[in-house]
Amino acid sequence: MTIRFLTSGESHGEKLNAIIEGIPYGYELDFDFINNELASRQKGVGRGNRMNIEKDKIKITSGVRFSVTTASPIAIELQNKDWKNWIYPMSIEKINFFEIDKNLQDTIKEKIKEKKITKLRPAHADLAGILKYGFDDIRYILERSSARETATRVAVGAICQNILKFYNITFNSKIISIGECDDEKRFQEYIESFKKKGESLGGVVQITVKNSPAGLGSFTHWDRRLDGKLAQALMSIPAVKSVEIGLGKDYAKYSGFKSHDEIFEENGKYYHKTNNSGGIEGGMSNGEDIVLTIAMKPIPTMKKALNSVEIKTHKKTKAHFERADICAVEACGVVAKNMSAIIILDAFLDKFGRDCKKDIDLAFKNYQKRTNEI
């Protein structure tokens, strides 16, 4: 069994949900750590007003007893406080749709129809979504494709980080650049200048995984390679357009002699003086830091709207604008860090066991002893 998780919920629905399967028995969860990760996702210069409304805190309804994982599926809920402020198929004027008479239900449905979004937003899921599903209201696409969904991923990933901390495996994210600015001291000023222009910004974030043991992943099949799994997980984050490991695309600039990490040995331990491979060779971790770099495109929703088309009339228009961030690169780094943790924990459990903390601890200890003797 692998770690599997599903999420549900919409940006302005009543709540977001996740179910995680494959977490072993015996790990005590640190809810302050998990909630701090959720809070970190909401921080950063350039975030929109939504962050002033939502105060994400994890609620676990199964799979944990007395703060300890039970090996059963873990169910998570995150409330959306903003849902009552929106006309939504399940609510209007803070009343329960299913507890009112049929005539009022029909009235509500008509009001919802009047609020249809029909102006396509370039670089969003809108155009592909209406072509695929035949929607006549972009709201159906907007709500689920929204990056609000990543809050549940952070909750899942924070649980995985929590477990990996027992083995001293830690994660951090660092902003490398915002737009064309790579001076950390100027990030805030740079973002504010684009906010005044009604534009948005993307950027580059680096994720580092420290103290990962060698041997996570495998070279034996394409779908067991650790770098492939990490790349897929990170590319699934909304707005991420590229993933690099170690030197990434810059590897192509150098000859093999100048770029590959030479191997040395001292006091019975192997090591590299460089880490151009980013801690992964042959689809497996090699014991060095795992270094992942992702590029996030600018947020497509902008006050300075792009040209587009209205789907009812097929006439030229300006793209629909809905409250949005100017820049969410810092938040993207938090999501990426936690998506990476899900993949690393799954590979860790694949290597050391999937049922019980005591067994996993013993297997990990024995593996460290054996590899230190090679």
Domain spanning 4-372: CATH 3.60.150.10: yes
- Average pLDDT of the segment spanning 13-30: 95
Give per-residue pLDDT as tens, 297-317: 998 888 888 899 999 999 999
| Global pTM value | 0.90
Tell me the backbone φ, ψ of residue 97, rounded to 5 degrees: -55, -40
Give per-residue pLDDT as tens, 128-169: 999 999 999 998 898 899 889 999 999 999 999 999 999 999
Give per-residue pLDDT as tens, 320-361: 887 678 999 999 999 999 999 999 999 999 999 999 999 999
Tell me the backbone φ, ψ of residue 157, rounded to 5 degrees: -65, -35
Least confident segment among 93-107, 171-185, 359-373: 93-107
Of 73, 294, 56, the residue nearest 152 (C-alpha):
56
pLDDT given for residue 181 in this prediction:
97
DSSP-assigned letter for residue 313: T
- Average pLDDT of the segment spanning 5-33: 94
Task: Name the pLDDT band for 260 (thresholds 50, 70, 90).
Answer: very high
- Average pLDDT of the segment spanning 259-272: 91
Non-local (6+) Cβ contacts of 3 within 8 A are 20, 21, 22, 23, 160, 342, 345, 346, 349
* β-bridge mates for residue 172, sequence order: 208
CA distance 89 to 93: 12
pLDDT given for residue 158 in this prediction:
98
pLDDT given for residue 88 in this prediction:
47
- Average pLDDT of the segment spanning 174-179: 97
pLDDT given for residue 94 in this prediction:
45
Non-local (6+) Cβ contacts of 58 within 8 A are 31, 34, 35, 38, 76, 77, 78, 155, 158
pLDDT given for residue 223 in this prediction:
95
